[in-house]
Structure 1
Amino acid sequence: MAPKNRIIIDTDPGVDDVLAMLLAFAAKAEDLEVLLVSLTFGNVDVRNCLRNVVAIFHILEKELKWREKNGNPVGFEGITKFKPIVAIGAEEPLQDRIESADYFHGVDGLAGTHTTHPHFSPEESWKRLFEEPPPDSFLTETAKEEVDLEEPAKTFIPSLIPAHKEILRLLRENEPDTITLISIGPLTNFALAATEDPETFLRCKEVVTMGGTVDGIGNVTPVAEFNVYADPYAAATVYALTSPIPSSTMPVPTEGERSFHLPPYPPRLSKQLKLTLMSLDITEFHILSRGAFSAYASELAKQGSPLAQWATAFMDPMFDKMERLHIGHEGEGAALALHDPLCVWYVLTRDDQRWKPSARSPEDIRVETAGQWTRGMTVGDKRPRKRRNSDGEVPHDRGNWLGNRSGNRIYRMLESPGRDAAAPYLLDAIFRND
């Protein structure tokens, strides 16, 4: 029997990205299969992102052995019953300068864990899994033996194909509307896939993306959230596929040293993209506190759980940072918002009627790509006016925001099964050990 959900996770790990992937891998096999983890720049550079993903598999392999040795339920059917592909994607945004969040997540994306706790990092030989082997004619006998003896990855499949092409391949080789695309980083890989082959991209069931803010404030500027800010051109390009006329909201290419002009979408497409947006408007209110995390992880770490020890190694510094940065984040109350895990939680529980989008959904939400102070702003139309066709009047709706055939159609989620339910759901799934 096929899993209820089959997903591709596009990510730039990042602490909360790691939590989101752990939640996905911890899901029951009948509920979820992760087909591909595609990597993009974002929180840190793409090579550090790759090391962090490999570290997840490295730690989980140790955790599975520890659980089996101690007679505990193994869990993590996402890697014991499936073997996800890992592919490297975009190294920089489509337009403008590279922005990172290493000031928050640490230079390695995991609060410096690879330096402070090197025993949790995989051996450097993993890098060879993502490199083309040299032609036989250039190999010495010793080198040939080393290549032949290279131990294959046990719990994932390394890909030498660019991530956006792997995304298209999987969508092409599977039935339409069976694969959900989850983006928890900049949307660069999705934009590359969508513009290279829009009809294949539209074979996805849904795009669920963490990004933006419409009613609230930004986390990198007063108006912009990081994932959108990191590559607003890519976000605008993907959002445009939700429009009956994608050209009506496509970003205007800029000229300059950092500009990559994507091919335009065809004037007619077979369908519109369904896009569910997990913006800061909802994610900021679902938090994981130091106290809640410790209640699950501390005793397991003392017992020797590699996963609990590793997670504690990067979560403790993050809680400390939140305590330094924010008023009201003292002691056990220091907390991180569960931005990225919310996307996986939604896919696992989207039949729950308590998930509700904004009353205006589907909303016309667009991305500012060229503003001096508003780069990456997700602009929603809050005017209490109806969509209408032109009746010959001089249009006062600049930009065709209210036209029936123009504008984006995005479902911005605002309510979940419970703000206090997210952290226990996540922790129980990851640390389930009885």
Structure 2
Amino acid sequence: MPAKKIIIDTDPVRIDDILAILLALSAKEEEVQVPLISLTFGNIEVRSCLRNVVSMFHIIEREMQWRRENGKPEGFAALRALPPVVAVGAEDPLESQKMLADYFHGRDGLGGIHASHPHLTPSEAWEHLFDPSAHATDINTVKASDSSTPRTYVPSKRPAHEEMLRVLGENDPDTVTIVAVGPLTNLALASAMDPETFLRAKEVVVMGGTVNLPGNVTPVGEFNSYADSVAAARVFALTSPNPQSTLPPTQRLPSYPPKLSKQLTLRLFPLDITHRHNLNRGYFRSNIQPRLDSGSPLAEWIAAFMVHTFKTLEKLHVGHVGDDAELSLHDPVCVWYAITSDDGKWKPSPASPEDIRVETTGQWTRGMCVVDRRNRHQTDADEESPSDHGHWLSRKAGNRVWRMDASPVEGGSCFGEVLLRRLFD
């Protein structure tokens, strides 16, 4: 079976974003290829996201060298087999005001690691590699022997949504999965630019929203859905047999064509499932310390920003104290699904595919995942009726979202243990 191809669209200013990327790149060569890492704004500015990703690759290079020098397997086979293109994407949401979260993640998104551990951060000589004012990078002409080119990634000067369409266009339909673990702005831009090429994706795996749990930025809003609710609503609409029925009422991007070749397959990982996949502080401490003692650069880097994260959890959340504190691994769960999607223990909700829509205009409900909890008969009506505003009951309208509800690894810190073993063993 050929390796699964995944695009990771991310706002790597959070610890779980970085861990998600590391999980993919540390996979076996026969498991995964990552042709593209596309960056979007998130909890901090997109240029800071880029700095964090470049720092991550810097650490990976140091880690692989350290492992070679100490007679250990290099690891990161997927990365060595195919260094991913890295492209910078959206700086702002499509319409709403940008929301930052440096109160939790630090000003650099990784707990201030660039200031506290400068020896783990590369110089900024790499910035020109992503300068869009220069000629666009021809990915096919980049040579590994070129000393000016990074060895572990390919920098792109093109916008992320254009690179996303390039990868989808260059591969056979239904062979590339997009794993979106940040605001969906890049995906919305790509689907607006060329919806048919975007629909070549095998599926889109989204970390976002919450259905039956409280939100994490408002009582009903999860960060990614809240950060660009219009983008989320547009991407969700592509799952509908009639995308016009669920598009946001106001938008600066054009509507989709009236006829599309297929509906998007979207697998949603809301807080309902991601909150059940954690990394326990006590387990992390006992597991990372021997690796720190042995001199692993990757262990030192991860430990530095994890210390900040666990301290912040103690301040903000009731019950997250001492070694019992648990960090939810929202984004790595989505990458883990993309790697192991053939495992029959991954289960959607019994009601899937569900008509889940994202609220875009509510004063208190922006980013809310709205579902119809009324017990009413569906109809085959083409037009809205006085008793069905919004086409909620029509079989010919509404979204069709696969909400994931069970995984092969759940409960306690089980998934956290899997994650650390994949990164280091």
TM score, norm. by length of structure 1: 0.92
- More divergent stretch after superposition (285-294 vs 30-39): 285-294
Give the aligned partner of residue 389 of structure 1: 380
Q: Which amino acid aligns with 1:115?
A: A
The separation in 1 between residues aligned to 2:352 and 2:83, in whole angstroms, is 36
Aligned residues of 1:297 and 1:431 also touching (Cα < 8 A) = no
1:161 CA displacement: 0.6
Stretches of structure 1 that go unaligned for 5 or more consecutive residues are 136-148, 255-260
Q: Secondary structure at the match of 1:242?
A: coil
Give the aligned partner of residue 15 of structure 2: 15
1:418 CA displacement: 2.7
1:285 CA displacement: 1.5
Give the aligned partner of residue 333 of structure 1: 324
In structure 2, the CA distance between the partners of 1:410 and 1:104, relative to structure 1 (3 Å rule), is: same
The separation in 2 between residues aligned to 1:391 and 1:408, in whole angstroms, is 15
1:71 CA displacement: 0.7
Give the aligned partner of residue 162 of structure 1: 159
1:391 CA displacement: 10
Query: Where do 4+ consecutive residues of structure 1 move more than 3 Å?
Result: 132-135, 390-395
The separation in 1 between residues aligned to 2:233 and 2:322, in whole angstroms, is 40
In structure 2, the CA distance between the partners of 1:134 and 1:47, relative to structure 1 (3 Å rule), is: closer
The separation in 2 between residues aligned to 1:387 and 1:338, in whole angstroms, is 37
1:24 CA displacement: 0.4
1:378 CA displacement: 1.0
Give the aligned partner of residue 285 of structure 2: 294
In structure 2, the CA distance between the partners of 1:222 and 1:66, relative to structure 1 (3 Å rule), is: same
Give the aligned partner of residue 359 of structure 1: 350
TM score, norm. by length of structure 2: 0.94
Aligned residues of 2:40 and 2:90 also touching (Cα < 8 A) = yes
The separation in 1 between residues aligned to 2:218 and 2:50, in whole angstroms, is 27
1:332 CA displacement: 0.9
1:238-258 residue CA offsets vs partner (Å, 9 max, x unmatched): 00000000000000116xxxx
Q: Secondary structure at the match of 1:273?
A: coil
In structure 2, the CA distance between the partners of 1:22 and 1:163, relative to structure 1 (3 Å rule), is: same
Give the aligned partner of residue 430 of structure 1: 423
The separation in 2 between residues aligned to 1:193 and 1:393, in whole angstroms, is 30
Q: Please state if 1:37 is matched with 2:30.
A: no
1:417 CA displacement: 1.1
1:293-349 residue CA offsets vs partner (Å, 9 max, x unmatched): 123211101110000000000001101111222222111111210100010011111
How many residues get paired?
413
1:268-293 residue CA offsets vs partner (Å, 9 max, x unmatched): 10000000000001111211111121
Q: Please state if 1:195 is matched with 2:186.
A: no
| Two-structure CA RMSD over aligned residues (Å) | 1.8
Aligned residues of 1:211 and 1:280 also touching (Cα < 8 A) = yes
Q: Which amino acid aligns with 1:427?
A: L
Q: Which amino acid aligns with 2:127?
A: K
How many percent of aligned residue pairs carry the same amino acid? 56
Aligned residues of 1:296 and 1:431 also touching (Cα < 8 A) = no
- More divergent stretch after superposition (413-422 vs 103-112): 413-422
Stretches of structure 2 that go unaligned for 5 or more consecutive residues are 136-145
After TM superposition, list the pairs within 5 Å mapping 1:85-164 onto structure 2: 85-131=85-131, 151-164=148-161
The separation in 1 between residues aligned to 2:312 and 2:179, in whole angstroms, is 28
Q: Secondary structure at the match of 2:330?
A: coil
The separation in 1 between residues aligned to 2:299 and 2:213, in whole angstroms, is 34
1:350 to 323, 331, 341: 341
